[in-house]
Amino acid sequence: MGDVGVWSRSDVPQDAPNWARYFTSVGREMAERPNQGVGEVSPVVFLSVPTGQYAAWFLAAGALGAPPKTPMLDQPGDYRGTTWVAAEDQVADANVLVCQSSAGSSGLFTVQVLPDEIPRRGRQKTNYRPAVARYQADRMAVVLHPQGTPEERRGQLNLTADERSSIREAIAPLLPRGTNWYYWWTQQCLSPVVLVGTGSEFLMRQRAEILKESPSWVWPTSRTTLALDMKRLCDPLRLLLFPFSVISPTVGGRVPWLRSLRPRLVIYTSWTAFSSRHPATFAGVPAVVLVNRRVESSLKCADAIDQICNNDLSSVRSRDMSVRGIDLRLVEYPVVEDDGLVADVDDDEEQPDEF
């Protein structure tokens, strides 16, 4: 292993069954592919499976072993973005000022983070003095917001003291001496893996079952991030605040801000989840779609992609770990510009995808 939390396909846990190793490999490989811009094409892998149970989480575990896609700011200016906010002891939204270092050397910048001048919910307003934190620009990751963030994100408690301590204790021993754990944590949050599907509670229970019954099937650093277990992970307005999130397929149509985000990998738990998305949602981000052959919608998926799938799979290295009964197809979709429309659609979380 090179950088902490970055694994190669050859590192896939050997004691995991072949199907789990295959999903881990596909997730790792697809997450490594770069995000694309408008006018380019982005890969979507369709996996036809006899059952999708647990598949999404091994894809996620693999994706969390890929390098995070977190650009560092190197242009002076005032920005609004998400980063580590020292005054809140968590990843949160903040005003960010990028300045050239006082030494005046070309290419050297500092990032100043000023939290919002409102207290975290539950904290008394008296004597609250938000402080400016300064970081080297080549160390602190920041994701800028092309559109205004939802007001509901302000003042939220994202990590409790116990949650923060648990993550620090797991990660700190793996980091180089003198490296603060929150540098690593911030990169994971700002380049998350997003699972899109209905039935978030059911999906979260599957995640818990894997970690309880078969923890050795998952890389240690992926276990650390996937061990998070709180309802906040299923709140679409909290994307970029955690290393993974579970959201409904229709939320992108109602929240243009969310559509503009660029995760590490998007995993759709069904063809229905993929086909019902707003086309600009996470556009340009590599994606994997699970297609359960036992479900009627799988026939619709086959009809939709038969004529556009790429028969040349030589670029997919994970083919060498393929498993009987799991079929892979690759489609390259054009990255479209957001039309800005807001749909009036309610989520249906009562009917989980059929795994």
Read off the tokens for 304: 């939709």
* Residues 146/260, Cβ–Cβ less than 8 Å: yes
**Can you give the pLDDT at residue 145?**
82
Query: Is 166 domain-assigned?
Result: no
Residues 148 and 227 in one domain: no
Residues 205 and 264 in one domain: yes
H/E element holding 32?
A: helix 18-32
In this prediction, what percent of the chain has a pLDDT beyond 70? 90
Q: How many whole angstroms separate alpha carbon 121 and alpha carbon 160? A: 12
DSSP state of 158: -
DSSP state of 322: -
- Which backbone phi and psi does 78 adopt, to 5 degrees? -100, 130
Query: Strands of 90-100's sheet, edge to edge?
Result: 133-136, 109-115, 90-100, 77-85, 143-144
Query: Is 289 domain-assigned?
Result: yes
Q: How many whole angstroms separate alpha carbon 182 and alpha carbon 334? A: 36
Residues 117 and 247 in one domain: no
Beta strand segments in 232-323, E: 244-247, 265-268, 287-292
Query: Is 88 domain-assigned?
Result: yes
Residues 285 and 227 in one domain: yes
H/E element holding 91?
A: strand 90-100
Q: How many whole angstroms separate alpha carbon 279 and alpha carbon 286? A: 13
**What proportions of the chain, in percent to the nearest 5, are helix, strand and coil?**
30, 20, 50
Residue 13 in this model has a pLDDT that exceeds 50: yes
Give the distance from CA 16 to its chain's centroid.
23
* Residues 224/298, Cβ–Cβ less than 8 Å: no
Residues 64 and 200 in one domain: yes
Query: Is 173 domain-assigned?
Result: no
Summarised one tens digit per residue, pLDDT across range 14-27 is 999 999 999 999 99
Selection from 133, 27, 149 nearest residue 90 by Cα: 133
Query: Is 126 domain-assigned?
Result: yes
Q: How many whole angstroms separate alpha carbon 180 and alpha carbon 6? A: 17
**Can you give the pLDDT at residue 236?**
95
Q: How many whole angstroms separate alpha carbon 272 and alpha carbon 296? A: 10
Residues 53 and 94 in one domain: no
Residues 311 and 208 in one domain: yes
Indicate which CATH number applies to the domain containing 292.
3.40.50
The mean pLDDT of 262-290, rounded to a whole number, is 96
Residues 46 and 143 in one domain: no
Read off the tokens for 252: 């992108």
Count of domains in the chain?
A: 2
Give the pLDDT band (50/70/90) at residue 348: low
Residue 127 in this model has a pLDDT that exceeds 70: no
Q: Hey, is 331 helix, strand or coil?
A: strand
**Residue 95 structural domain:** 77-159
Query: Is 24 domain-assigned?
Result: yes
| End-to-end CA separation in angstroms for the chain | 33
The mean pLDDT of 77-81, rounded to a whole number, is 90
Query: Is 183 domain-assigned?
Result: no
The mean pLDDT of 148-166, rounded to a whole number, is 90
Residues 252 and 218 in one domain: yes
Residue 53 in this model has a pLDDT that exceeds 70: yes
Regarding beta strands 265-268 and 133-136, do their DSSP bridges make them parallel or antiparallel, or are they unpaired? unpaired
Residue 1 in this model has a pLDDT that exceeds 50: no
Kindly report the number of other CB atoms within 10 A of residue 20's CB atom: 23
Query: Is 175 domain-assigned?
Result: no
Residues 145 and 20 in one domain: no
Residues 229 and 97 in one domain: no
Selection from 92, 112, 231 nearest residue 152 by Cα: 92
Region of 89 on the Ramachandran plot (φ > 0 left; ψ -120 to 50 alpha; else beta): left
In this prediction, what percent of the chain has a pLDDT beyond 90? 70
Residues 63 and 202 in one domain: yes
Is the model more confident about 339 or about 126?
339
Share the mean pLDDT of the chain: 89
The mean pLDDT of 212-236, rounded to a whole number, is 96
Selection from 153, 158, 211 nearest residue 182 by Cα: 158
The structure tokens 């690593």 sit at 184
The mean pLDDT of 223-246, rounded to a whole number, is 96
Is the model more confident about 343 or about 101?
343
